[in-house]
Amino acid sequence: MSSGTRPDGLKIKVLIVDDIPDTRENLRKLLAFEADIEVVGVAGTGREAVELAKEVKPDVVLMDINMPDMDGITATKAISTVVRTAAVVIMSVQSEPDYLRQAMLAGARDFLTKPISSEELYTTIRRVYERNEPIRQQEARMSSMTRMEQDRAHITEPGMPTPGAGHIIVMYSPQGGAGTTTIATNVASALMRPDTRVLLIDCNLQFGDVDTFLNLRAQTNISNLTKSVDDLDMEVVESVLVTHPSGLKVLTAPSRPEHAFDVSAEDVKTLVNYLAGSYDFILIDTSTQYDDLTLKLFEIAERIVLICNPTIPSVRNTRKMLDIFDTVEEPADLSEKVIFVINRTVDERERGRGTVPIASIENHLKREVKAKIPLEERAVLTAVNQGVPLVAKVRNRPPARELAELAEHIREAVGPPGMQVQDVSTPPEQRRKSTIIPILGGKS
């Protein structure tokens, strides 16, 4: 959504924190244009910000770093602890890794690099607000409980999501059979760690086959949850998920293609946002369709793993998709989220088999390939037949090695839990495509 009202009719409450009066005023003026955003307070110091946040309970806090009395990092820590529903966005002059690290550890959810364009400002506010929905729901339930119930809930958290980092990663290919499910199941498996909760959701609603790939027999599926999406409860959710012997949690697709008609894209989006509150990574397998569901999933995704094969039809379809990504900037810049992957690569010496060289694909699409997964018929097929992800069996041989490396690339790209980090390897001015209105400058 852009400058209209929100579907829930609520406004996003924003608190502006900066010690420079002009900056505060510029931000306030810019936000005044947006019907779904309301500035509920402005503060000139970190200490003032903490006091004001307790009072006005903002949804989003725009936080400067260098300020007198209490710096932005310390204030972020205090606000994140006291007002759990407030998502802090750090504003700094440069995306300095050291500052960002400290900000992440303090609980910041995103950052903006000055000068900030109006589009970046609006998009970031809406993104962090949407991603905080599970926390708002949890707090709303807590506040409707008695004190005794709250204490009990803190110990056992019945029906409550335990907070997770909630990185949503969507796997997509515009080409059928490109290897999306193979990559989704393997990356999900490789991301699992004792301290990392991973959920794999099959959003290929008509012909989803994650259950086949993982040899799962599910009695329940996503439609059991989307039916009651307004009244979700983690206990019910847990009973619908299936657990692979490796411990990976899976939400399967409807068992029959026609049942997909009962699942609305909006409900899937609400469900995924809710689940993001309880898992560190949510991996989503999709169909090749570019429809309302895929678009909604792209919007809420933190990263889109775009899968292409080294063949002319696949490269052509990928080109079409990248063109679409380049034009969609609201509510999120899709193009920036893309992690481009080639599946079924072959040794350059064997290229006679009609494959397009990787360098030509990169040149043509003007995209760097972040992972190359080799063609290995036997290994991949055996793994599918056994229902065990390749990476769970061997990690040091192709293509398991490359799949595990892709998982690590994703882990690094999204940063430590709790923070949605943009790709800082690309300078902000190259990342932006919308008209930049340099409203802020100067110090951080």
Ligand X SMILES: Nc1ncnc2c1ncn2[C@@H]1O[C@H](COP(=O)(O)OP(=O)(O)OP(=O)(O)O)[C@@H](O)[C@H]1O
Residues 259-298 that bind ligand X (CB under 6 A): 288
Q: Of 161 and 179, which CB lies nearer to ligand X in the complex structure?
A: 179
Cross-strand pairs, 200:
250, 283
Q: Pattern of binders to ligand X over 62-101, x per CB under 6 A?
A: ----------------------------------------
Residue 272 interface partner, choices ligand X, Mg ion, none, CB cut-off 5-8 Å depending on type: none
Helix axis angle, 133-143 to 265-275, nearest 10°: 70
Closest CB to Mg ion among 176 and 442?
176
CB atoms under 10 Å from CB of 436, counted, come to 15
Smallest gap, in angstroms, from Cβ of residue 130 to Mg ion? 27
Q: Hey, how many other C-beta atoms are within 10 angstroms of the C-beta on 25? A: 13
What is residue 111's three-state secondary structure? strand
The number of beta carbons lying within 10 Å of the beta carbon of residue 11 is 17
The distance of closest approach from Cβ of residue 204 to Mg ion in the complex, given in angstroms and rounded to an integer, is 5
26 or 180: whose CB is closer to Mg ion?
A: 180
Q: What would the two tokens of residue 280 be?
A: 């560190």
Cβ distance to ligand X smaller for residue 53 or 268: 268
Pairing status of strand 249-251 against strand 198-202: parallel
Q: Which of 439, 420, 418, 329 is nearest to 16 (CA)?
A: 439
Least distance in angstroms from the C-beta of 313 to ligand X: 13
Give the residue nearest to Mg ion (CB): 181
Contact 17, 62 (CB under 8 A): yes
Do 403 and 186 contact (CB within 8 A), yes or no? yes
Alpha-carbon span 372 to 307, nearest angstrom:
10
Residue 167 interaction partner, one of Mg ion, ligand X, none, beta carbon < 5-8 Å per kind: none
Considering the rule CB under 6 A, would residue 376 count as an interface residue with ligand X?
yes
Task: Name which of 257 and 442 has its Cβ closer to ligand X.
Answer: 257
Token pair 């409980």 is at which residue? 145
Cβ closer to ligand X: 45 or 181?
181
Residue 192 binds: one of Mg ion, ligand X, none (C-beta under 5 to 8 A by kind):
none
User: Is residue 318 a contact residue for ligand X (CB under 6 A)?
Assistant: no
The neighbouring-strand residues paired with 137 are: none
The single residue listed with the structure tokens 């309970």 is 57
Query: Counting contacts by CB under 6 A, is residue 444 touching ligand X?
Result: no
242-243, strands of its sheet edge to edge? 242-243, 249-251, 198-202, 281-285, 167-172, 303-308, 338-345, 371-374
Q: Select from ligand X, Mg ion, none the partner in contact with residue 399, using the beta carbon and a kind-dependent cut-off of 5 to 8 Å.
A: ligand X
Query: If contact means CB under 5 to 8 A according to the sort of partner, which of ligand X, Mg ion, none does residue 32 touch?
Result: none
Q: How far is the CB of 435 from ligand X (least distance, A)?
A: 37
Among 85, 181, 186, 252, binds Mg ion (CB under 5 A): 181
Start-to-end Cα distance in the chain: 29
Closer Cβ to ligand X, 87 or 306, answer by number: 306
How many whole angstroms separate alpha carbon 237 and alpha carbon 240?
A: 5
Site residues for ligand X, 156-195, by CB under 6 A, read: 173, 176-182
Q: Which is nearer to ligand X, 44 or 310 (CB)?
A: 310
- The residue among 118 and 180 lying less far from Mg ion, judged by its C-beta, is 180
From 9-17, 179-187, 333-341, 380-388, span contacting Mg ion (CB under 5 A): 179-187
204 forms part of the interface with ligand X (CB under 6 A): yes
Nearest CB to Mg ion, comparing residues 197 and 344: 344
Using CA atoms, how far apart are residues 398 and 374, in angstroms rounded to an integer?
7
- Determine contact, residues 23/440, Cβ cutoff 8 Å: yes
Residue 252 near ligand X by CB under 6 A: no
In degrees rounded to 5, what are phi and psi of residue 443?
-80, 170
Burial class of 422 by CB neighbour count within 10 A (0 to 12, 13 to 18, 19+): buried
**Min separation Cβ 421 and ligand X, Å:** 28
Residue 377 contact, options Mg ion, ligand X, none, Cβ 5-8 Å cut-off depending on partner type:
ligand X
CB 310 within 8 A of CB 342: yes
CA 285 to chain centre: 14
377 near ligand X (CB under 6 A): yes
Contact footprint for ligand X (CB under 6 A): 173, 176-182, 204, 288, 343-344, 373, 375-377, 380-381, 384, 399
Q: Please give the residue ranges that form the binding site for Mg ion (CB under 5 A).
A: 180-181
